[in-house]
Structure formats: structure tokens, C-alpha cells
Amino acid sequence: MNESEKTLLLDAGKIAGLIDSLADRILEEFPPDQAAQLALIGIQSSGVPLARRLVRAIREKCGAAPEVGTLDISMYRDDIGTRKSLPVIRETEIPFNIDGRVIILTDGVIQSGRSIRAALDAITGYGRPGKIRLAVLIDRGMREYPIAPDYTGMKLQVPGEYRVNSEWCEINEADAVYQVPRTAYTKQA
Amino acid sequence: MDFTWTKKDLLSLYDLSREEILCILNTAEEFKKVSQRNLKKVPALRGRTIVNLFVEPSTRTRVSFELAEQRLSADIINMNAETSSFRKGETLLDTLRNIQALQADIVVIRHSAPGAPNFLSRELNVGVVNAGDGAHSHPTQALLDIFTIREKKGRVSGLNVAIVGDILHSRVARSNMWGLLKLGANVTIAGPATLVPREFEGIGVRVCRDLKEALRDADVINLLRIQHERQRAGFFPSTGEYAKVFGINSETMKYVKPDALIMHPGPVNRGVELDSAIADGPQSVILEQVTNGLAVRMAVLFLVAGCLK
Amino acid sequence: MKNDRCCILKGARVIDPVSGTDDVRDVCWKNGILAEPGSISEQDADVLNLQGYVVCPGFIDMHVHLRQPGRTDAETIRTGTMAAAAGGFTSIVAMPNTNPPADNAGAIQYLKDYAAREGVVHVLPCGALSKGLEGKEMAPVGSLKAAGVAALSDDGKCIQNHELMRHLVEYASQFQLPVLDHCEDSVLASGGVMHEGYWSVLLGMKGMASAAEEIIVARNIILARMANWKVHMQHLSCRESVELVRAARKKGIPVSAEATPHHIALTDVEIKRFDTNYKMNPPLRSEEDRLAVIEGLRDGTITVIATDHAPHTATAKLVEFDDAPFGIIGLETAVPVTLTELYHKGILSLPELVSKFTKGPADVLGLPLGTLTPGRPADITVLDPDTEHVIDKNNFYSKSRNTPFDGYHAKGRTAATFVDGKCVFSILPENTAN
């Protein structure tokens, strides 16, 4: 991908504010006494840093420390073999029993809803949660499946020919949200 | 940068780069976790059809592949030499063309002829996974051996691996050699001179005529099944003599490092290449190899399926 | 061409290893018989200007499988001789391992009748050494001689019974028939599909030890010495075999040997792709062996290049490597491959190379072929020695396509072939004729 084609939409400061308000919204539904029983599971890869940041924010706000896990959905996608290239399988790490638990799935950006569909499928491979909620940093619209986040950091109107990417300092250089023309990816492929 | 798998076939480890081998091992780690859950099935290959074509008899490899396919939610067709049309004089290629016409996606093939999977991959559009072809190659066995070594020792590079037994007729030995060398291990082979060709020195393997010397510094000892028909063909005098001279028993274990892994692709000839006490002892990882085989085969099928258009 | 009766080839480099000729001069013939240069007037003859070409005696391939009768789906006398013509061969020796085998006078008569009717080049029958090629009893050598065989061979098989072989060499000497042997100890080579060596070990394939050939070459040298009669080692492939033949010839033992273009050009490394078009017997061997064969050609130990043209249908070859039949076709690739590998690489001069296809085989067979001497039949091969081209198996006249040389970048080729003065193949440009 050509770095020069990226356009910054949100910087680190703006993202920190969104995470803070997401944590508040979660605590509204699950007050501190329940928050300790929450488990946040980040969808690989951009949902993972989001889950960890949200756990930190919740702990700072109320002292409760929800558990945190990671989920890779590659084995649950319905487009194996139709994509240009095979997704790299990343780590799934759910070091706790999810039966009956309240799970908050996290993802950086929601678009079609297909990843979330796969994630719901994947998560049930590990047990039978009591409730599942969905938290996303960005909802950029263009939904294809009847799936809506329970907690949304921000809705963005971005033309369809652009992809919206969330980047995190744990993975990339810094926290940022970019729009990138889809052509930048096809050129690379 | 993440490595992306791009091959529609797995034919031999000779064909793979270090990165491709590591990609399979890393992917297998995630599939191993799936096997440790209560719900051991994923929908990754839902709607895909896999044909298991076993032209040569096999139990454990076939079962391992079948279970891997079921856990990936693939549809499965099993064919073996007895039920297939080979007996009616149909060629392998014609059989496979018929399977291809049924829109099969992947063929897992076990065959006595070296290169049969290479031949099919050239002539067909389906993905081909080699489940053992003559003495040529058995890539998933070597991958599961290497996976087990890495899991137990934390690394492969720099380890001393001794492969002992009938190297000449062993696809397991050949695939292990290629894989281990590419990942930076030191490989020593040992066994009867008639069954341990010096030619392997040409690829950087140490050929050791003295078993004790081969065992002494080994971090991993991979024992091969000795087949009785080799005795009849005059490669060694008797299994009794083989056990005495080349078998691993309490006597030879005195030369083995206390933390060395004892591996065997199975089935074990107890009392010939390996004594029962050691096969079942604390250094043996033979059953873990079987468990890991499932994860490795799931990973291979998943990666190969992802490259079929 | 105006007629077949008189023809003059002008301006070409003429090479005749028998007379030692190598210069630019005319070659002419009348009624299919070579004539003295200048004895035919240009007004009465077809005249071809062949500047830049090389005119040689017609090439002889001592080792061809025509597959008729038995496997006419792979080759016939018609297609095999057309392939020979396209390859520059005017005479070919037809191996007896047809089905049924050519182990009796009737089978030889069948071959001669068919070849006379449908053949494009001369077909020299080779009779079997043993009945049914079974290596157990002598074939009727005297009857075969009377029927017109040029030599004896059990090619494809090798007589393992040394006593029978000893008697055959002795008996063949009485009929002046050279014994051509496919040198292979069948137990040592049993089950093998490729050369036993580095690559067979790496690939896990059953190897055929060089010893299997060397042991029989040594046996044959001993038997040739005992009978003082010609034993010719077919398709020599191993270093040690070449050394054995070299030493024997030095001692004056009447042995000779041939090499194939594929053993000159290729080695066992090719097998790693499992392409059955590289499966033949004797197998492609190591680089060391290949260089020894080339050295044998260079120093005169090996006096013959023969193709071992062995057609197989695509179906027969499109199987697992272990199950594929041995053999590749060679008639239409021998000249370009050997020009490229031996002449253009500076190993043999053009006269030396031509000799391997003419004088060499004629001497082994004891036939007055392979020369441009006036009075002999006008069998002529015209070479275009320097044109670069890529071999395309789809252009072959052979019924089969089992060649490892498809796509081979060659320098030099056959430009025209004349049998008894008649043009049977030509890619000469239109303007060569006046």
C-alpha cells in the first residue's frame, strides 16, 4: 500500500476521548459491581488493542478489572478461497471460561458486519456466554448483515471507495484512524 | 510483515521455504487450541470437498487426515486401493479426473510411487496434499515432528537431531531432513550401512556409522520403523541382530542426554528399534506427535484451501 | 525437382569419414547411384546450390524400435521411417522386441515386406539372440541370417545366462552377425526406475546401480575375446563401462559401443520433476558418467551414436513415474542435440561427429554403408549446422511424442535427406534449386 494515499481522520488524542466515552457507556449498562465479571474479547487484529485499552479505562474509572482475551476469526470466515490472499491466522487466547459470562466483543471498525458474524460463530466455539455485546471504535456504515454495535465510539461518513483503518501504537506506529482508497490495495495485489 | 501462504499443494518440504514451514507451524498452533476446546470443530472448510485417496494402506495417517477434515467441516470422500477403480485398470489420472469432475477441492493422496502427488498436481486443478509417496516424501509427518520438537524444546535452530534406522526407504526421514535443515537444526543419521546412504552428506546431513556417537549429543532422537521385508531383501541379517546393534534400549539410553526427546512416527516395533520401557517412558513424545499431527493437518488443509480459486 | 534420375549438389562442405573427405566439392548421382563429380552434366540434372550446408553420407541409426507389429498405436514402420528421414537417417536398425518378437525368419520377412512397401528409409532388421527374447534358448541364428538380418540383439533384455551368451557369440561369429547387447544384470537393476546415486537417494526412488551395466560389459568383453567376435555394447551410460571398453579395444578385443544423445545431454538431476519423458533404460546417470561418455566419444572408445528411439503413447507415459514404461523417442532430435552438445561445444569436429553416425555404425554392422564412394547408393544427409531453433515435438513425424527435448534450444539440424537418390525429407529453401 502506498502510504501517501492515506488520509488521517482521527488522531491519538481524539481516539483516547472515544475510548473514554465507550468505557463510560459500558459502565452505564454494567455498573462497577457487575463490571468485574465482564470479559472483553478483541477481534484480531485491530480489536485487540481496543479491548485492552477499554479494560484499562474501566479499571481506572471504577477499580474493577474485567478479563481480556483475543479472538481470531479466520477459521470462521465464509470467504476462504474467494479473497485475494489468505488471511494470516493470529492468536486466539481466551484464558477463562465464557459459559454464562457477559462478553464484550471489540473491533476497531465495523462495516459489513461479516466479521462480527464470524466472531459470533467463533465465540460460541468456546462455550455459551450469557450475553454478548459489541463495542467498536468507528462505525463507518455500509452494513450488509443485520448487526449493530451496542457501543459506538463514533460514526463516520466516508465514501464507499475508501477503506477505514484503525491503527494502534501496539501494532503500528501510533494510534490513528485513516481512510485509504481501496485502489491502493488492489494495486499492491 | 506477515507471511502469506500462496501454494495450492503441499508436495514435499524440499519445495518449501523456511517462511512457509514456519507459517504452517504457526497456523497449527492455533488449530491445536481448537482441539483443546469442548467444541472441537470450526466451519473453515464448510462446503469444501476433500477426497482421501489412499492407494497404499494406511491407518494412522488416514484417520488423522479424516479427523482434521471433519474438524474443519469439510465434506469427505474416502477412496482406497480396494474400493477404487484401479483394480478395473483405470489409471490414477483418470480416477482423479473423475473426482475433479465432481468439483472436489482437495485430494489427499497416499501412494507407493514417489512423485505421484507431483504428477497429479501438474495435471489437475485441485489442491494436492501429499500423505506419503513411496520413500520420497511425507511432509505432514515431518511437520508434526518438527512442531513437537519446537513445542517441547522451544526452538528448532541449533538442536541436534538424530534419525536412526532405515533411512534409505524412509519418506519420514527425508522430509524431516529437509524441514530440519531449513530451520537450522543439525541432523545426524545412523543405522545399518546398507540402509544409511552416504549421499545425504551432500545436503549437509552427518552420516554416523557408530550409533553411540550419533546418540551422545542428540537433543532429539527420531526412530524409524524397521520393516521385516528389508531383512528378506538382504539389507540386514535379522530383526534380532538389528535390535542388538541399532535398537534403543536401557543400555543405549545410557548414552542419551536425560532431556533428549524420543520420537517415533509409529507404529512402533516394540523390542526391535525401540524398547517398550523407553517408548512409554518420560522422554517419549510419541503420543504427543499423534495429537500434534491433527493440528498440523488442519493447518495444511486450511492454508491449501485458501489458495484454491 | 525435374526428376529423380540425376542430381548434383553444389557448393556444400562435403564430409565423408570413410575417404577422409572434408572440402567444398560437388556430389552427384544418377539413377540413385553415386557418380564421380563432373561425370554428370548440369543440363541433365537437378542442381541444388547448398552453400553453407554440409553434405554427408546418409546417417545410420543402429538402435530403433519401430513397434510394428504389436504397438502400432505408438509407432509404425511408416511413421518410424518418416521420423528417421526427418532426423537425417537413411538407414535404421530395427530392434526385434516387437510383439511377437523378431526371433524367426517369418517375422524378418514381414518386416522387410512392410518396409519395402511403406518404409521411407532403409530398414535393416535385427534378429533376436534368444527365442522369444527369453534368454533361455538360442534363436535360429542361421535362418535369421538367411532371412536378411543385419545383427542380433535381445535389446530391452539382457541374457543373464553367461553360458548361453558365450555360445551365442561363438555361433554368431560363424554367420558374421555382430551381437548387440543391452548390458544389464537384471538382479542388480531389478525394480529400479532411475540411476542409483545422489538423486535416487534424495528422491527415495529405487535406483539401478551402474554396476548392473558394468558387470555385463565386463562379461561381454571376456566373451568377445574368447570367441574373437564382435560384441557391441548398446547405449553405454556409465563411466566404468567406458573405461572397460576403452581398455578392451586397446587390447584389440573386437568390442564396440554406442552412446545415445540423451546420455550425452542429460543427467539424473532431471528426474526431480518426476517427468516420465526422462525415464529410460539405461537411465540418465550422473554428471561424472555423462562426461565419461563424452570423453569416450572424443577419444574414439565409443564409435557410434544411436538413438534408442523408443516410442510410447502419451497415455502410457502419463502415469506415475514408477509405472511408466522406459524409453524416449530420438530419431528427430539426435542431430540437433548432438550438433549442439558435441560440435558447437567443441568436443568433436564435424567430421568426427559425422563419423559416429556413418562410418562408426557401418563398421560395426560390417555393411558398405555410410560413405559417398561413387557406385554406392545415393544415401545422403544434408546438415544445416548453424541455424538456431527450438525443438517442438508437435512438428515430429513420429507417432509418439515422448521426448525430453521438447523446447530444447538447439544449434544445427537436418536440412534434407536422400535415400537412393530420392529426396525423402527437405526443409531447404525454394531457391536452392536452380
pLDDT at A83: 66
pLDDT at C2: 44
Judge: A86–B2 Cβ closer than 8 Å, yes or no: no
Lowest mean pLDDT among A105-114, A142-151, C32-41, C71-80: C32-41
Q: Is B137 on the interface with C (CB under 8 A)?
A: yes
Partners for B (CB, 8 Å, 3+ pairs)?
A: A, C
Does one domain contain both B162 and B238?
Answer: yes
Mean pLDDT of chain B, nearest integer? 93
Q: Where are the alpha helices (DSSP H) in C161-209?
A: 162-174, 198-203
Average pLDDT over residues A44-69: 94
pLDDT at C349: 98
Percent of chain C residues topping a pLDDT of 90 = 96
In angstroms, the Cα distances linking B89 to B86, C18, C315, C360 are 5, 53, 13, 45
Does one domain contain both B114 and B161?
Answer: no
Q: Could you say which of A86, A91, A125 has the minimum Cβ distance to residue B39?
A: A125
Does one domain contain both B160 and B121?
Answer: no
In angstroms, the Cα distances linking B290 to A57, B23, B34 are 44, 20, 15
Q: Give how far C87 is from chain B: nearest CA, Å.
A: 31
Q: Could you say which of B113, B202, B203 has the minimum Cβ distance to residue C323?
A: B113
Q: What is the pLDDT of residues B221-235, one digit of tens each?
A: 999 998 877 877 889
What CATH number is given to the structural domain containing A109? 3.40.50.2020
Domain assignment of residue A79, yes or no: yes
Give A-chain residues touching B309 at CB under 8 angstroms. Answer: 81
pLDDT at B303: 95
Q: Residue C11: name the closest of C311, C320, C318, C433 by CA.
A: C433
Domain assignment of residue B256, yes or no: yes
**Is it the case that residue B92 has pLDDT exceeding 90?**
no
The CATH number of the structural domain formed by C6-55+377-432 is 2.30.40.10
Q: Could you say which of A75, A83, A91 has the minimum Cβ distance to residue B44?
A: A75
Q: Which domain holds residue B219?
A: 139-289
Does one domain contain both B183 and B257?
Answer: yes
Residue B29, CB-side half-sphere exposure with 13 Å CA sphere: 19
DSSP letter, residue C254: -
The total number of structural domains that make up chain B: 2
Give B-chain residues touching A88 at CB under 8 angstroms. Answer: 2-4, 23
Q: Give how far B271 is from chain C: nearest CA, Å.
A: 27
Average pLDDT over residues A8-29: 96
- Count, residues in chain B: 309
Does one domain contain both B88 and B145?
Answer: no
Of chain C, the end-to-end C-alpha distance in Å amounts to 9
Q: Is A92 on the interface with B (CB under 8 A)?
A: yes
DSSP character string of B214-282: HHHT-SEEEE-PPPHHHHHTTSSS-HHHHHHHH-B-TTGGGGS-TT-EEE--S---BTTTB-HHHHTST
Indicate the pairing of strand C21-24 with strand C27-30.
unpaired
Q: Could you say which of A72, A78, A81 has the minimum Cβ distance to residue B306?
A: A81
Grid cell locating C76: 509404425
Average pLDDT over residues C236-264: 98
Judge: A80–B6 Cβ closer than 8 Å, yes or no: no
Phi, psi at C247, each rounded to 5°: -65, -40
**Is it the case that residue B65 has pLDDT exceeding 60?**
yes
**Is it the case that residue B86 has pLDDT exceeding 70?**
no
Domain assignment of residue A161, yes or no: no
Domain assignment of residue B7, yes or no: no
Give B-chain residues touching A188 at CB under 8 angstroms. Answer: none
Please tell me which residue of chain B has the smallest CA distance to C198.
B199
Q: Give how far B29 is from chain A: nearest CA, Å.
A: 8
Q: Is A188 on the interface with B (CB under 8 A)?
A: no
- Taking the C-alpha atoms of residue B213 and residue B190, their distance in angstroms, rounded to an integer, is 9
pLDDT at B58: 87
Domain assignment of residue A184, yes or no: no
C-beta atoms surrounding B17 within 10 Å: 10
- Taking the C-alpha atoms of residue B136 and residue B139, their distance in angstroms, rounded to an integer, is 10
Q: Is B118 on the interface with C (CB under 8 A)?
A: yes
Contact (Cβ atoms closer than 8 angstroms) between residue C327 and residue C401? no
pLDDT at B180: 98
Indicate the pairing of strand C179-181 with strand B75-80.
unpaired
Marked catalytic residue, from B111, B138, B169, B264:
B138
Average pLDDT over residues A156-162: 94
Number of helical (H) and strand (E) elements in chain A, helices listed first: 5, 8
Judge: C202–B174 Cβ closer than 8 Å, yes or no: yes
Contact (Cβ atoms closer than 8 angstroms) between residue B107 and residue B99? yes
**Is it the case that residue B153 has pLDDT exceeding 80?**
yes
Average pLDDT over residues C178-203: 97
Average pLDDT over residues B268-284: 95
Q: What is the pLDDT of residues C285-303, one digit of tens each?
A: 999 999 999 999 999 999 9
Tell me which CATH homologous superfamily contains domain C58-365. Metal-dependent hydrolases (3.20.20.140)
Comparing B103 with B264, which gets the higher pLDDT?
Answer: B264
Contact (Cβ atoms closer than 8 angstroms) between residue B111 and residue B121? no
Domain assignment of residue B5, yes or no: no
- Taking the C-alpha atoms of residue B71 and residue B45, their distance in angstroms, rounded to an integer, is 9
pLDDT at C4: 56
Torsion, CA A77, CA A78, CA A84, CA A90, rounded to 10: 10
Please tell me which residue of chain A has the smallest CA distance to B306.
A81
In angstroms, the Cα distances linking C68 to B178, B219, C62, C65, C180 are 47, 62, 17, 8, 20
DSSP letter, residue A111: S
Judge: B174–C319 Cβ closer than 8 Å, yes or no: no
Phi, psi at C230, each rounded to 5°: -65, 120
Q: Is C197 on the interface with B (CB under 8 A)?
A: yes
Q: Residue C233: name the closest of C205, C207, C257 by CA.
A: C257
Of chain B, the end-to-end C-alpha distance in Å amounts to 24
Query: Bridge-partner residues for C306, per DSSP?
Result: none
Band of pLDDT at residue A186, cut at 50, 70 and 90: low
Torsion, CA C328, CA C332, CA C334, CA C338, rounded to 10: -130
pLDDT at C26: 95
Band of pLDDT at residue A82, cut at 50, 70 and 90: low
Domain assignment of residue B278, yes or no: yes
Partners for A (CB, 8 Å, 3+ pairs)?
A: B
Give B-chain residues touching A87 at CB under 8 angstroms. Answer: 306
Q: Give how far B234 is from chain C: nearest CA, Å.
A: 13
Interface size between A and B, measured as CB pairs under 8 A: 64
Pick the residue of B3, B33, B35, B125 with the most A CBs within 10 A to test the interface with A by mutation. B33
Of chain A, the end-to-end C-alpha distance in Å amounts to 9
**Is it the case that residue C418 has pLDDT exceeding 50?**
yes
Mean pLDDT of chain C, nearest integer? 96
Please tell me which residue of chain C has the smallest CA distance to B55.
C320
Judge: B302–A77 Cβ closer than 8 Å, yes or no: no
Domain assignment of residue B2, yes or no: no
**Is it the case that residue C1 has pLDDT exceeding 50?**
no
The total number of structural domains that make up chain A: 1
Average pLDDT over residues A7-22: 96
Q: Is A172 on the interface with B (CB under 8 A)?
A: no
Judge: B308–A83 Cβ closer than 8 Å, yes or no: no
Q: Is C247 on the interface with B (CB under 8 A)?
A: no
pLDDT at B77: 92
Give B-chain residues touching C270 at CB under 8 angstroms. Answer: none
Does one domain contain both B121 and B22?
Answer: yes
Percent of chain A residues topping a pLDDT of 90 = 74
pLDDT at A81: 62
pLDDT at B90: 80
Domain assignment of residue B242, yes or no: yes
Marked catalytic residue, from C308, C363, C384, C420:
C308
Q: Which residues contact A29 (CB under 8 A, 6 or more apart)?
A: A133, A150
Judge: B91–C197 Cβ closer than 8 Å, yes or no: no
Domain assignment of residue A147, yes or no: yes
Does one domain contain both B167 and B256?
Answer: yes
Partners for C (CB, 8 Å, 3+ pairs)?
A: B
What CATH number is given to the structural domain containing B45? 3.40.50.1370
Does one domain contain both B166 and B44?
Answer: no
Q: What is the pLDDT of residues C344-361, one digit of tens each?
A: 999 999 999 999 999 999
Does one domain contain both B256 and B295?
Answer: no
pLDDT at A36: 85
pLDDT at A189: 41
Indicate the pairing of strand B160-164 with strand A131-139.
unpaired
- Per domain, the residue ranges of chain C are 6-55+377-432, 58-365
Average pLDDT over residues B140-156: 98
Q: Is B194 on the interface with C (CB under 8 A)?
A: no
- Taking the C-alpha atoms of residue C131 and residue C102, their distance in angstroms, rounded to an integer, is 9
Q: Where are the alpha helices (DSSP H) in B84-197?
A: 92-101, 116-123, 139-153, 171-182
Judge: C201–B93 Cβ closer than 8 Å, yes or no: no
Average pLDDT over residues C391-408: 98
Q: Is B282 on the interface with A (CB under 8 A)?
A: no
pLDDT at C43: 87
CA angle B28, B123, B298 (to 5 degrees): 10
Cell 502427488, residue? B117
Does one domain contain both B73 and B199?
Answer: no
Cell 498452533, residue? B29
Does one domain contain both B78 and B143?
Answer: no
Marked catalytic residue, from B37, B88, B254, B309:
B88
Give A-chain residues touching B25 at CB under 8 angstroms. Answer: none
Q: Could you say which of B113, B168, B200 has the minimum Cβ distance to residue C322?
A: B113
Q: Give how far B37 is from chain A: nearest CA, Å.
A: 6
Band of pLDDT at residue A187, cut at 50, 70 and 90: low
Band of pLDDT at residue B39, cut at 50, 70 and 90: confident
Domain assignment of residue B6, yes or no: no
**Is it the case that residue B82 has pLDDT exceeding 70?**
no
Judge: A89–B39 Cβ closer than 8 Å, yes or no: no
Q: Is B88 a catalytic residue?
A: yes
Does one domain contain both B203 and B238?
Answer: yes
pLDDT at C73: 96
Q: Give how far C221 is from chain B: nearest CA, Å.
A: 30
Percent of chain C residues topping a pLDDT of 70 = 99
Judge: A125–B6 Cβ closer than 8 Å, yes or no: no
Marked catalytic residue, from B8, B62, B71, B110:
B110
Q: Which domain holds residue A106?
A: 11-156
Give A-chain residues touching B301 at CB under 8 angstroms. Answer: none
- Taking the C-alpha atoms of residue C155 and residue C129, their distance in angstroms, rounded to an integer, is 9
